[in-house]
Amino acid sequence: MNIIFLGPQGSGKSTQAKMLANALSLPYIEMGQIFRDKAANEKSQIAQQIKKALDSGELVSDDIAVETLRQKLAEPAFTSGFILDGYPRNQAQLEGLNKEIDKVFYINVSDNEAIKRLSLRARVDDTQELLARRLSIYHERTEPLLSLFRQKNILEEIDGERSIEEIHKDVLEKQDETKSN
């Protein structure tokens, strides 16, 4: 089973994706963390391009994002499925994914709630300016994918402005409905 979690930064999608991965015993992939690790630990030209994108609040280029994910999904751990957090970010990345997706969970929160949560997590790249930039990019490039997933009847919209436990219960219920259909 291949599952995607989408939502603006600060929506709690990573928390929920990890919890569902645990519940279903599926491997979890957080593209943002993969990019941050590459930018911090590698000296390649690709790592420098990733670092530049992250530092400016831009998306990592589609070709780098697609190739990075392809390499990850080629590992044996991902042959029976995965839970993908925060990817794809746009139409080109979706096309590059080249995997059948069974379910997309969209954790929906307002921009105000997202900014409030992000300002509490105190990550170096979470300046007010970069947060606003990332949310703008999210609305412009990622949100249009939601209608595609809705048309395919694989989108589950989750109210992300509740407790972690309530959201997780909702995710599990919607996942169970998928398995029983």
Domain boundaries, the chain: 2-180
Rounded to whole angstroms, the Cα distance separating 178 from 1 reads 11
Q: Choose between 144 and 122: higher pLDDT.
A: 144
| Mean pLDDT of all residues in 2-16 | 95
User: pLDDT digit string (tens) for 166-180?
Assistant: 999 999 999 988 766
Closest CA to 81 of 29, 30, 26, 31: 26
Tokens for 133, please give them: 């930039």
In terms of Cβ atoms closer than 10 Å to its own Cβ (0-12, 13-18, 19+), residue 180 is exposed
Closest CA to 170 of 130, 161, 145: 161
Q: What pLDDT, on a 0 to 100 scale, did the predictor assign at position 181?
A: 64
User: pLDDT digit string (tens) for 23-69?
Assistant: 999 999 999 899 999 999 999 999 999 999 998 888 899 999 999 99
* CATH code for the part of the protein at 2-180: 3.40.50.300
Q: What pLDDT, on a 0 to 100 scale, did the predictor assign at position 121?
A: 78
Q: What pTM, to 2 d.p., does this model score?
A: 0.91
pLDDT above 90: residue 106: yes
